[in-house]
Amino acid sequence: MSASPDLPHVVERAFAVSRRAGYVSFCRNETGRLLAMLAATRDGTMAEFGTGCGVGTAWLRSGVRGEKARIITAELDPRLAKAAGEIFEDDPQVEVLAADWSTLLDKGPFSLLFLDAGQSDGGWSGGAAGVDAVADLVEDGGIVVLDDFAPCEGWPPVTHGRVDSLREQWLTDERFTAVEVMVASDAATIIATKR
């Protein structure tokens, strides 16, 4: 996917860094626009588990409106973390860590937490995106965004012939009010607000 002329400058920079690094797994523009919109409603600290080359982080940053808001993102692969760090090296509101996602455990609670539900690299597996693993990391009224779901119209949600237990967890957990939103014909995102 190439950057289009209507993308925020920081997102264009992130796409350029991704191309140079040969990294092709990144936040879709449709999800990115949703992240920017949600970031515009947040103060405090936002976080991302699994930075990649920083496209998702760039979308979050493009939505930040206040000087008090900040974003912390962790990427296990030092090469990718270094590439992402280039995008934000002069931005005091963004901190890119070359570290496992668990490094962020003591930096919350977060007003917004972005997780790649399909991620199996970057220092964590999709299991870390489970409700129990992150519920205490989000402040009351805080938002969790999980992307990389295939749309599903039935219940229980089934993906690849099996019940999608991660999606089912998020949509039924009483600590959150959650909704699945299609961001494209082949992609869905879960947005959950902590009660």
Write down the CATH number for the domain with range 27-194.
Answer: 3.40.50.150
- The CB density around residue 3, as the number of other CB atoms within 10 Å, is 17
Q: Taking the mean position of all CA atoms in its chain, how far away is CA 27?
A: 8
Domain boundaries of the chain, sorted by first residue: 27-194
The pTM for the full model equals: 0.89
pLDDT of amino acid 6: 85
Counting as low any pLDDT under 70, the low residues of the chain are 1-5, 118-128
Q: How far apart are CA 114 and CA 90, in angstroms?
A: 22
